[in-house]
Chains A and B, each alone.
Chain A
Amino acid sequence: MISFDTLAFMRNILLSIGMLAPIQGAASTPGAVMAETQLQELLDQQRELGCQDIQSTLQSVLCSKELRIGVLTDYKGFADKIDKMHVGFEIDFANYISTQLGVKPVLIPTTVSRRIQKLVDKEMDLLLAALSHTSAREQAVHFVRPHYFSSATAIIGLKETLITDLTDLNDVTLCVPLGSYDNIRFDKAHARLLTFDTAQKMVDALKFGACDLLAHDRSLTLLEVTGPMAPQFLRGRYEEKFSIDETPWGTAVRNEDSATLGRAISLITAKAHSRGVIERLALINGTWVPMLAVERKRFESTNCFFDNGLISPDCLIQARDIGDTPSAISPTVTRFQSWTKETLGLKISLPMLSGQQGLKLFLKAIGTSLLLALGVIIATIIIGLGFYFLSKSNWALVRVPSQTLRVIILNTPDMLLLVLAYLVMSSLWLYTTPITIITGILAVGSTNGAAAGDSLVHASKTLPDKAPLSAVARVCAIQFRACIINATKASPLAAFIGAPDLLSVLTDITSHSGERTVTFIVLALFYVVMVQTVILLSAYLVKRMHVPTPGTERA
């Protein structure tokens, strides 16, 4: 594994041989001079506006002398946090951009799933967080071009596995990053997707055999798994099976900032390419790709710059058009969206219904959520009864451990139990989607089953020794019902260990669509209706048992 010391050592070597010199030096190419001139014109215009009436983010940045840049903290080589220090290619580039603007960089940690939302919500001014430029994302934010990086998605697997292209992914368990635009393509190829929110968790899952294959940006897989800097035991076992399309990465600003901050960053990026700064930053961080050399050549001359400060479209890479194909109900969805806009003035978006694959994932997620809810209810009942019967055993060797286990489970935070179940289950079986669902069911069912068992045990103490189970159940029916309701409420927790339920899938969809208001209303409605259904059905059953008193429930 590449360590911070290694990176620092490499940086010192490169500094000592002068490879970083051009970063601090004067503009050295005609393209860089052109970009610098146009940048200074733009900055002067903004400074002339003063700091009284702030009209743009760029003006605000220049006045406050701070640029808030959203960065990842767990992307080795690009943006990592080691000993409380941000390090990596993107961090170096963020510092470079700030220096060019004459302001201080304020790094705002973000995650893959929330990066676009955070930018839109004005939690940051600029996003520099391994964001692939796709046409779908262009609707949410403005991508700055030229791009500062480009990467293909590499599919990694064991050396002995025979996988050569997308068609081989049928029924294969594939670990993918949350919010990746390629997830839809993998789903189309009928791969069983396990979604992870950090690269570290994905590599762990691969290492522990939770997935057959891993798909991520090649730059990351080289550093973490297959490249010369990856740990020996990983690069000895795994290799890149194939890769899919190269996609450019862009910094992003809010749409309204495209002509001001966006243009400034665009000129800075062009200048950085022209002077070979980006290429060198990539080299010292071990993330160099051929695209950077191509871009350096392209921007060395003034051919790409118009006199008005804009960059010729011929010099810019287009966004990848990898949108989902329209679903069968897409026309109806579009009509509905237009209707709400015209009549109610509400601009809503339904990304989970308009695309064919998105709709398929959405429906599958609803099925998974219902299955999880049903599963945890059944597990709660079975485990609750199990604990009850074990507590009635004549053998202390059975009774005492079961009671101890019940107390431990009852007092353990659900998240810890889930992760423990994940670690245990993935060591016993290949961590496929069904195993993920079963793990979630068992973990959530255990917590609530222990509570249900506890209520049965306590109820039995109020009755004669030989009281039948039906009598015990009648006494604690309300508490038992509360456990079942709580189990249903807790079923979405399984999303935490990768179960592709509605919470997980909709979070994934919002992370690359940027839309969330409608998505989360749909999510809330679904779970409220599901829990209410269980409440009503269980109330009916309890009523039939003629149980009079009210009970208590857990979160």
Chain B
Amino acid sequence: MCQHQGLSVLENIEGFFQAFSVNVSVGFLTMLIGLPIGFLTAAIRFYFSGWAARLVGFLIGFLRAFPVFVLMFLAVNFLASVGVFEILGNDYASQLALIVALLAYTISACSDAALTFFRYRALGQMHQAWLLIPNMFQIFVITVVDTGFGAAIGVKEAVTFTLALSESYETRIERISLLIVVILFFATTLALSKRFIAKMSVRIQQ
């Protein structure tokens, strides 16, 4: 994927969007795993008291404090040592390491959002409680942005594609220009997503 010299602009744009689909699918898979675990842990924290709630609360706090970037390197090494790279191959195994790392954020964030949902629901404030939906969407957007960390372990996503493409340019100004274009793409896409979330929040509260 990382040989871009000689490719046309259209082919590079197509390659970028293919790579961006990896960001979205990794983000989606992370949410798919993180959401139920987050809800389950939030339910334990809300409905139970004593050691179980404290233990889960501690675990969520631990995940919240763990730097995703460092966790990603730990995951790569752990998965490699248990033979996952051998079974899945480089591409899927490094995506799995990224998902494992992002789960630290997604589980803790979903758990906190779900806990807030349970609390407001118990108080009968359903409008506030259902802000859970935009919150989840927000967590998904942040997770997709953070899939860019995968560039450090070779996940073939949009940031990796951009950096590889930039390396095929000879001058610094060309590289900077490319990065700015991609940054503007991310900024526009995500800012619009957030705007959509904000509108959704307002509708729910109304």
Interface centre among A123, A416, A492, A516 (most CB of B within 10 A): A416
Interface assignment of A81: CB less than 8 Å from any CB of chain B: yes
How many Å lie between the Cα of A81 and that of B2 in the bound state? Answer: 9
Give the CA-CA distance A423 to B163 in the complex, in Å.
12
Among the listed stretches B10-18, B36-44, B47-55, B75-83, which one makes contact with chain A, having 4 or more residues with CB under 8 Å of it? B75-83
Chain A residues, CB < 8 A from B85: 118, 121, 123
- The answer on a CB contact under 8 Å between B62 and A528 is yes
Answer whether residue B56 sits at the interface, using C-beta atoms and an 8 A cutoff. Answer: no
Known: A411-B194, A524-B70. A555 touches B176 (CB 8 A): no
Q: How far is A83 from B7 in the complex, measured between Cα atoms in Å?
A: 11
**Which of A416, A491, A507 lies in contact with B186, CB distance below 8 A?**
A416
A167 within 8 A of B: no
Interface size class of B (residues with CB under 8 A): 35 or more
* Residue ID in chain A nearest B148 by CB atoms: A413
Most chain B CB within 10 A, of A83, A408, A510, is at A408
A489 to B63, CA, bound (A): 11
A83 near B3 with CB under 8 A, answer: yes
Contacts of A550 in B (CB 8 A): 112, 116
Cβ-defined contact, B159 with A553, below 8 A: no
A side interface size, CB within 8 A: 57
Pair A489/B186 contact, Cβ less than 8 Å: no
Interface members, chain B 63-118 (any A CB < 8 Å)? 64-71, 73-74, 76-78, 80-81, 83, 85-86, 90, 102, 104-106, 108-109, 112-113, 116
Interface of B is mostly: helix
For the complex, give the distance between the alpha carbons of A83 and B86 in Å. Answer: 25
Within 8 A of A (CB), among B139-181: 142-143, 145-149, 151-152, 154, 158-159, 162-163, 166-167, 172, 175-176, 179-180
Most buried by A among B67, B68, B184: B67
A419, B179: Cβ atoms under 8 Å?
yes
Across the interface, which residues of A come within 8 angstroms of B151, CB to CB?
Answer: 415, 496
**Closest chain A residue to B103, Cβ basis:** A555
**A415 B148 Cβ-Cβ under 8 A:** yes
**9 closest residue pairs by CB, A with B:** A413-B148, A555-B105, A411-B190, A489-B67, A408-B187, A411-B187, A555-B68, A531-B65, A555-B146
Q: Is the CB of A489 within 8 A of B3?
A: no
Taking a contact as CB atoms under 8 Å apart, the answer to whether A520 and B152 are in contact is no
Q: How far is the CA of A407 from the CA of B192 in the complex (A)?
A: 11
Residues of A near B67 (CB, < 8 A) are 489-492, 527, 531
Bound Cα distance A496, B183 (Å): 18
A552 touches B109 (CB 8 A): yes
Cross-chain contact B68 with A423 (CB below 8 angstroms):
no
B96, chain A: closest CB distance, angstroms = 14
Asked whether A411 lies within 8 Å of B102 as measured between CB atoms, the reply is no
Taken together as a complex, chains A and B put the C-alpha atoms of A555 and B106 apart, in Å, by 8
Residue A541 at the chain B interface, CB threshold 8 Å: no
Contact between chains at A123 and B152 (CB < 8 Å): no
A200 at interface by CB-CB < 8 Å: yes
Give which listed residue, A109, A416, A520, contacts B179 with CB less than 8 A. Answer: A416
Of B73, B78, B154, B187, the contact of A523 (CB 8 Å cutoff)? B73
Binary contact track A93-112/B, C-beta < 8 Å → 1, others 0: 00000000000000011010
Chain B residues, Cβ within 8 Å of A204: 167
